[in-house]
Amino acid sequence: MADGTGGHVPSDPMEAIPTLDPRALPGMPPALPNDVEREPDAEQMSIARRLRQPRTIISIAVPLAVIAIFVALNGKQLATVPGLVLAANPLLVLLAFVVFYAGFPLRGKRWALLLQGTGLRIGTKDSTEIIFLSWLVNCVVPAKLGDVYRAYLLKINSTASLSRTFGTVFIERVLDVFAIALLGLAAGYWSFRSGLPAAIQVVFGIGVVVVAVLAVGLFTMRNFGRQIIVALPLPHQVRDLYDRFEEGVFGALAARQLPSLGLLTGLIWMTEALRLFLVVQALGFADVSLGLSGAVFVALIGSLLTAVPLSPAGLGIVEAGVVGVLHVAYGVPLPEATAIALLDRVISVFSIIVFGSIAYAISPKPRGLGRIPGPVEAPTGTTTPA
């Protein structure tokens, strides 16, 4: 905030902020102080519109072309892959589906807790539905736009602040990265306790650096973020946006909820690992001994690669990474490694496209008709207009 002399006084993250609640998406004009936030442009957020954009078409076509070239170059080895997948144990495949989809209510509960920390009470059913619809977007559109779509759906179905919601999504992603790094390091050390391959050492080094950068970034935002924003020649609307974003980030992490958030995050990522473990067991390869620790490590590597925003759900990148780790680090033959990656992606991506499209067609939330009844309460230390 600026004082009467033009100087700036750093504000505590939980200090009362102006009631400005800018809801404009990038490219939309910002709201003026004390104005009611405007609804984001529905046409701009339309999935159909995004699918018609050249960027989306290219992001799908290029990975598919690369995969086709890979299959053509390794045709003789990969000729057995369809048969290997079709021979999978259907009961174990079904169990892998169940375990994977059990992760969505856990994700919904975690996001509901984060939103509660910012003052918005939302049921786990509503938060789970919104997350599931956002995953559909991530599976068909590049650049992780599902995260933006999630905030948009909450906005049009409640009175939530868009920028504050972005803060909760951001801190959720930070929790995920911390979990992936810590669980991946633990699983990797156990899986490769007889000796770490050079490539895995590089992965470990990257993981440590990522965790350190995130920790430093959060510390800087928490203690100096407001001063940095105020010092920059930015419009006051941007400063207000940052206020709400920061409030979403740190308001979501209430101390009393940290144990629950940590437990839920661990369970979420164990469902990812257990899904891959069950896929390997379903395929029943006699020459593949991955173990639970190996499944955890490979699944987390695949999940981390989905964050690469070049293609929907990391198409082409995740498959290459999973097959590469299985083949190089664990010595899994190329046909078996490809079958594992293919069946796992059928569960984690293709099924989302199928069931997510059905959910999108029948859910009232994409049209803003699924009003969330939970009241919006001011976070501790904030004020709301009378």
For 2, the 3-state DSSP assignment is strand
How far, in Å, CA of 294 to CA of 277, rounded?
Answer: 8
SS3 sequence of 355-379: HHHHHHHHCCHHHCCCCCCCCECCC
Q: What is the pLDDT of residues 199-248, one digit of tens each?
A: 777 777 877 888 888 889 888 988 888 889 888 888 888 888 888 888 88
Q: What is the pLDDT of residues 71-89, one digit of tens each?
A: 888 888 899 999 999 999 9
**Is residue 267 packed enough to be buried (19+ CB in 10 Å), middle (13-18) or exposed (0-12)?**
middle
pTM: 0.82
Alpha helices in the chain (DSSP H): 47-52, 54-73, 75-78, 81-86, 90-118, 124-140, 145-156, 162-191, 198-231, 236-251, 258-283, 291-305, 317-324, 334-345, 351-362
Longest dimension (CA), the chain: 76
Which of 99-103, 234-238, 340-344 has the least mean pLDDT? 234-238
How far, in Å, CA of 132 to CA of 48, rounded?
Answer: 17
How far, in Å, CA of 375 to CA of 158, rounded?
Answer: 9
At 343, list the tokens.
């069946």
Residue 159 CB contacts under 8 Å (≥ 6 apart), including other chains: 376
Residue of 271, 112, 256, 93 lying closest to 183 (CA atoms): 271
Asked if residue 36 has pLDDT above 80, the reply is no
Q: In the chain, what percentage of residues exceed pLDDT 90?
A: 45
Asked if residue 25 has pLDDT above 70, the reply is no
Phi, psi of 170, deg, nearest 5: -60, -50
Q: What is the pLDDT of residues 255-279, one digit of tens each?
A: 888 999 999 999 999 999 999 999 9
Stretch 96-105: mean pLDDT, rounded?
Answer: 97
How far, in Å, CA of 126 to CA of 120, rounded?
Answer: 12
- The tally of CA atoms less than 13 A away on the side-chain side of residue 222 is 12
Identity (one letter) of the amino acid at 102?
Answer: A
